[in-house]
A and B are shown apart, each in its own frame.
Chain A
């Protein structure tokens, strides 16, 4: 025990704090180690295959790709010899592929327009589908269909299907599709023009209504995630709020929205990724074209540039969302 004379001259006995401290650090250490244990599968995968796959994918963008008879050969660039040295492929896609900047910008713009629409719509549908109602299983199954339709073999089967094209919105009208505008923009302008503040807002809403098919089809995964998040909220929270006199409206804004905040964050990230990496995105089409021409080096270069941009966007969104989103642990 440490004995010490304090300011008043009395002898104070300091208790042994060392033991306690040591215990705490052990616990923290243990937690650190368990962190690695829980992430072991990911680390294993990264070390044994995924890391090398990623490194190779990036390496492709820095070399010249030649396909040979039974495989491929990579030829590296040299500083001073090739323009931009190792980054010659990037020079090619920026200098010789006109319009890449424009398509990048359009992709990002399209995404920004998509996000609020998709999040609000899918939250709305999920709220409807998570409550008690007749035929709930049936409706959930139907709203699950879009999540399947957007991937893999089903996309292939619907591509080139005239009906599908006509359903995906206004483009169908000019192509002589069967569907006409559900709401005419001119009519709504007449009706709402004096009420709504700016024409941008109703143009936005009108285009959303007329493209309802594509909006619904982009929401499949988000709806499913929201439903499971809504089902995860304990009913006892609502009960206690009701006893305290909260209305349904209060409950929705003060309980539901904060409780599913973390999942709104997930859905925003997913919407960004889905919007920027979907098969009909111009950049993705560019990558696929290079791939089909066996120009893996250019495909990789485009992908690297695109990746950096998406990572930046996600980084900004994460910074903002981390400030906003409420976690029960942060109380």
Chain B
């Protein structure tokens, strides 16, 4: 019986119904109405489901198409560069060949690799970049935490210093920096040298090491020491940015976390290393990747500090350009660029997986 039949009850029937019948009738009617409501809800939720399903499939498609277009904008010059590296000499002079080479060749790669001693360079660059990036990552994290969670005298001055390191044009500190590391003397802001004529290391050398009273400064150029010193103290390339980044991150970490760990009896360092430090993982990976890749393509520091002893990636380009005949100079430049970029992209593709998703920031409610 559906409710429509109930509606067809006549007045006569109604009057003839006993109390029990009326009660039964009402109960059944109620049930039928509920069934109807349920059907309606089901219908509605089906529509909602369909919409959700549509959203689930359509949105990613739109997203991917949009991102593909932007990727094309980024990749197009690189793809055309990549294509030109496989062109043989006859292709290069042929105006009909624009992207896909008629007679592809890997000759340019072989040449550039031999000219630049590529594999040694690659290994050496990886080692240097790893050292610099790891030092930068940890020092930025430490210093950033110090800025974010502690109050002490001179904090503002030191933070200004951090900002200075970001905005100072590298060209202006080139010469002072080279001089400092060429004649390294462990001096306090150059004050001791200003008054006594010799820096600390020169005094030590004069009195203890060579003992001749003249005193020579340490020569740190042509070694990796300047880079280590700069990155471990947070003064490396854009080191200020990384410190600022970590400081902003730690400022957002609730104080309750560290307080809870103090209450549990952990000291400041224990709190930092076992509670706070793991939270910043995805940001540290970002810093690592940026620092690594900037060191990878760096010409400023490597040009200043490694004049002869270290082969870094930047040299691949200079050597390739130096060795190329004029007709091939563009191709050699492109080939060198690809040889520099491709390992970096491979490293990034693996590295970005470490930026783990949805790290639980804290166990604190609210």
A residues near B (Cβ < 8 Å) are: 30-39, 41-57, 60, 72, 125, 128-131, 133-135, 137-148, 151-154, 156-158, 161, 163-164, 167, 212-213, 216-217, 221, 224-225, 227-229, 231-236, 259, 262-263, 265-266, 269-270, 273, 276-277, 284, 287-288, 291, 296, 299-300, 303, 306-307, 310-311, 314, 327-329, 331
Contacts and interface: CB of A to CB of B under 8 A. Distances in A.
B74 interface: yes
A270 B241 contact: yes
Nearest to B168: A307
B294 A53 contact: no
A73 B359 CA distance: 56
A307 B167 contact: yes
A270 B145 CA distance: 19
Contacts of B348: 140-141, 144
Nearest to B314: A153
A329 B253 contact: yes
B174 interface: yes
B289 interface: yes
Interface of B: 60, 63-64, 66-67, 70-71, 73-78, 80-81, 139, 142-143, 145-147, 150-153, 155, 158, 160-169, 171-177, 179-181, 184, 186-190, 229-230, 232-235, 241, 243-245, 248-249, 251-255, 268, 272, 279, 282-283, 285-286, 289-290, 293-294, 296-300, 313-314, 317, 330, 333-334, 336-337, 340-341, 344-345, 348-349, 352-353, 355-362, 366
20 contacts: A32-B152, A35-B150, A42-B146, A50-B235, A51-B190, A54-B168, A125-B70, A140-B352, A152-B297, A154-B340, A167-B76, A232-B279, A233-B358, A259-B252, A262-B252, A296-B172, A300-B172, A327-B251, A329-B251, A329-B255
For the residues of B in contact with A, the DSSP-based class is helix
A54 to B, nearest CB: 7
A234 B252 CA distance: 13
A263 to B, nearest CB: 6
Given A152-B298, A266-B241, A329-B251, 5 more contacts: A34-B268, A53-B173, A141-B345, A224-B290, A300-B172
A143 B349 contact: no
Contact of A266 (B81, B248, B352): B248
B77 A151 contact: no
A262 B297 contact: no
- Kindly list the 9 A-B residue pairs having the minimum CB-CB distance in the complex, ordered from nearest: A45-B233, A38-B146, A35-B150, A152-B297, A56-B176, A262-B248, A35-B152, A303-B172, A52-B190
A164 B152 CA distance: 49
A137 B350 CA distance: 9
Contact of A303 (B64, B166, B168): B168
A42 B162 contact: yes
A131 B26 CA distance: 53
Contacts of A138: 349
A231 B349 contact: no
A141 B311 CA distance: 26
Contacts of B282: 228, 231-232
